[in-house]
Amino acid sequence: MSKHHQVLIIGGGSGGLMTASKLKKERSSVAIAVVEPSDKHIYQPAWTLVGANAYDYDKTIRSEASVMPKGVTWIKDKAVSFSPENNEVTLGSGDKITYDYLVLSPGIQIDLDGIEGLKENMGKNGVCSNYVDPKYTWEVLKNFKGGNALFTQPTTPIKCGGAPQKIMYLAEEHFVKSKVREKTNVIFASPGSVIFGVHPFKEELERIVQKKQIVTKFHYAITKIDGEKKEAHFKLAATGDNQCVVNEDPEIDEKVTGDMHVVIPFDMLHLAPPQSAPDFIKTSPFSNDAGWIDVDVNTLQHKKYKNVFGVGDAAALPTAKTGAALRKQAPVVVGNILHLIDENKLGDKMYKGYSSCPLVTGYGKMLLAEFGYNNVRMSDPVLTRFVDTSKEKKSMWYLKKYGLPYLYWNKMLKGKMMD
Ligand SMILES: Cc1cc2nc3c(=O)[nH]c(=O)nc-3n(C[C@H](O)[C@H](O)[C@H](O)COP(=O)(O)OP(=O)(O)OC[C@H]3O[C@@H](n4cnc5c(N)ncnc54)[C@H](O)[C@@H]3O)c2cc1C
C-alpha cells in the first residue's frame, strides 16, 4: 500500500465520503485515500424513525465497501495521532502515512460517562436513546404502560439537535394509538430556554407542544440517572439574573431540593447522551480549547495548518451538527483544495453555516427547519415556492421517509446535488 496520498481523508462517514466523491467528480485525477475502521456505513438520520417503528433498521446500514467512491483507496484502519509538521498520520496498526492535503471528518463521540448512572442503565430500566440503539427505543415505547415518559438532552453540543424532541412527538402519538396517553405525562426537560432556536419553526413547535399537552421544563440539566429507583436528577441550568424558581410539579411527582436540584421519576427515559469531539482529535494539534477541529468558519481551513480542513460534526462550527450541513461544507473544502493545488490559494466559496433539521412531529407529519449562522432562516427557495416548510406537513414526512434517504445514498454520497 502506498504510504503517501495527495488527499487523505480521516473518516468514511457522511462528511468523509461526500468530500471524497465530490472531489473525484470534480477532478478524477486527484489521488484520494480514506481512513475508516468500520466496515459499515450508517444513515443515522433514519434512526429517529427506527425508534418509532417507522423505518427498517437494516435499511439504514450498508457495507462501507459498497459506498466507497470508485477510484478512492480505502485504508481500513483508524487514525490515532498526527504530526502536521511532517504531514503525517499514525494509524492504529502503527503504520505512518503522509499527505499533501488532509481532511478531518471523524464525527462526534458519544460520552456515556458524562452523566452518572447513564452507562450502567443505557439499554435497560426503560432508559433508551436513538443515538445508541434505536431498536431498544422501540422496545421501550411498545411496552410502555403509562406514567412519566421523560425526554431530555445534555448540556454538551449534540449531533442533530432536533432528534431528542422528534422521537418525543412520535412517542406521544404512539401512546394515543396504544391507548395509554390518558395515563401518561409526556415531559420534555431541556437545559435550553426554548423548544427550538430559529423562527418561525419555534412558534410552530410551541403550538404542537401545546396541542399535544407536553409538559416542558426548561433550564433542566440532567446530572444523574438512578435506574433502580427510576429517577432522573437535574440541576437547574440557569444562574445569576436568569435564576429560575421551580415549584414542584405534583402532576409528575417532581421533587425539588434546595434551589438547584430536581428529581423527576420516570417510567421511560429517552435521552441524547453527552457528546464531544473524538478523544484522538481532542489530544491532537488540530483541536481548539474545547476539543473541536479549529477551522475557519467560512473556508473550513484549519487556522494554523493551511493544508488541513475539517468538516462535519467534529469541526468547530457555530451551527447545528447535521448531515445536511455537509451538502454545503464538502463543496467548499473541495473547491479550496483544488484552488490550492492549481494556484496555491483558496477559492471564493464560503460556508455560511447552513444546516437543516427535518423536525418530525408525528407519524406522517414534519416541518423542515433550514438555517445558517446566527440562527437565520435559510429555507430552500425552490422548495418553499411549493410548500410552507415552517408548518407540519404530510409532504415533508414523505421527504423524510423516502426522499432524503434516496438522495443520501444515490446523490450526496456520490458527490451530486451539493453546492
Ligand atoms: C439519531 C440521529 C438522528 C439524526 N438525524 C439527522 C437528520 O435528520 N438530518 C441530518 O442532516 N442529520 C441527522 N443526524 C446527524 C448526522 O448523522 C451527522 O451529523 C453526520 O453523520 C455527520 O457526519 P460526519 O462525517 O461528521 O460523522 P459520521 O457520519 O458519524 O462519520 C464519522 C466516521 O469517522 C469514523 N471514525 C471515527 N474515529 C475514527 C478514527 N480514529 N480514524 C478514522 N475514522 C474514524 C467513524 O467510524 C465514522 O464512520 C442524526 C444523527 C443521529 C444519531
Cα 13 to averaged position of ligand 1 atoms, centre (Å): 6
Would you state the cell numbers that stand for residue 57, as one nine-digit string?
Answer: 433498521
Nearest-atom index, ligand 1, CA of 16 = 25
Nearest-atom index, ligand 1, CA of 322 = 19
CATH code of the region 4-108+277-354:
3.50.50.60
CA distances from 350 to 19, 315, 354 (A): 15, 15, 11
pLDDT at 71: 97
Cα 243 to averaged position of ligand 1 atoms, centre (Å): 35
Mean pLDDT on 372-382? 95
Could you report the per-residue pLDDT of 293-330, keeping only the tens digit for each?
A: 999 999 999 999 999 999 999 999 999 999 999 999 99
More confident residue, 258 or 319: 319
pLDDT at 410: 98
Residue 121, φ and ψ in degrees, nearest 5 = -105, -15
Mean pLDDT on 50-69? 98
To test the ligand 1 pocket, which listed residue (5, 9, 14, 49) has its Cβ within 8 A of the most ligand atoms?
14
Mean pLDDT on 104-132? 98
pLDDT at 418: 86
Cα 45 to averaged position of ligand 1 atoms, centre (Å): 9
pLDDT-derived band at 237 (thresholds 50, 70, 90) equals: confident
Ligand 1, CB within 6 Å, residue ranges: 10-16, 35-38, 44-45, 47-48, 78-79, 105-107, 130-131, 159-160, 163, 278, 280, 312-314, 321-324, 326, 358
Domain 112-271 has CATH 3.50.50.60: yes
Q: Residue 116 carries which side chain, given as an amino acid letter?
A: E
Cα 208 to averaged position of ligand 1 atoms, centre (Å): 29
Structural element, H or E, at residue 64: helix 64-67
Buried b (16+ CB within 10 A) or exposed e, 80-109: eebebeebbbebeeeeebebbbbbbbbbbb
- Let me know if 160 is a catalytic residue: yes
To test the ligand 1 pocket, which listed residue (75, 108, 160, 370) has its Cβ within 8 A of the most ligand atoms?
160
pLDDT at 419: 81
Give the lowest-confidence range in 37-41, 245-249, 284-288, 404-408: 245-249
Reply yes or no on whether the pLDDT at 228 is more than 60. yes
pLDDT-derived band at 239 (thresholds 50, 70, 90) equals: low
pLDDT-derived band at 379 (thresholds 50, 70, 90) equals: very high
Cα 107 to averaged position of ligand 1 atoms, centre (Å): 5
Cα 315 to averaged position of ligand 1 atoms, centre (Å): 12
pLDDT at 2: 72
Put simply, whether the predicted model's pTM sits higher than 0.85 gets the answer: yes
Nearest-atom index, ligand 1, CA of 278 = 38
Sign, CA dihedral 208-403-38-325, equals negative
pLDDT at 244: 60
- Nearest-CA residue for ligand 1 atom 5 is 45
What is the Cα–Cα distance from 40 to 360, expressed in whole angstroms?
26
Q: What angle do CA 54, 57, 61 make, to 5 degrees?
A: 135
Q: What angle do CA 16, 32, 87 make, to 5 degrees?
A: 90
Mean pLDDT on 203-213? 98
DSSP single-letter state for residue 110: E
Mean pLDDT on 197-225? 97
Please state, for a pLDDT cut of 90, what percent of the chain lies above it.
Answer: 95
Residue 224, φ and ψ in degrees, nearest 5 = -155, 145
Sign, CA dihedral 332-337-342-344, equals positive
**Max Cα–Cα distance, the chain, nearest Å:** 67
Interstrand relation of 73-75 and 32-35 (parallel, antiparallel or unpaired): parallel
Nearest-atom index, ligand 1, CA of 163 = 3
Nearest-atom index, ligand 1, CA of 280 = 41
pLDDT-derived band at 352 (thresholds 50, 70, 90) equals: very high
More confident residue, 339 or 250: 339
Could you report the per-residue pLDDT of 73-108, keeping only the tens digit for each?
A: 999 999 999 999 999 999 999 999 999 999 999 999
pLDDT at 242: 53
Q: Which of 160, 209, 271, 300 is catalytic?
A: 160
Reply yes or no on whether the pLDDT at 194 is more than 80. yes
Cα 411 to averaged position of ligand 1 atoms, centre (Å): 17
375 within 8 A of 357, measured Cβ to Cβ: no
- Nearest-CA residue for ligand 1 atom 27 is 107
Q: Which of 33, 108, 334, 357 is catalytic?
A: 357
Reply yes or no on whether the pLDDT at 383 is more than 60. yes
Strand partners, 187: 150, 215
- Let me know if 357 is a catalytic residue: yes
Domain with CATH 3.50.50.60 in the chain: 4-108+277-354, 112-271
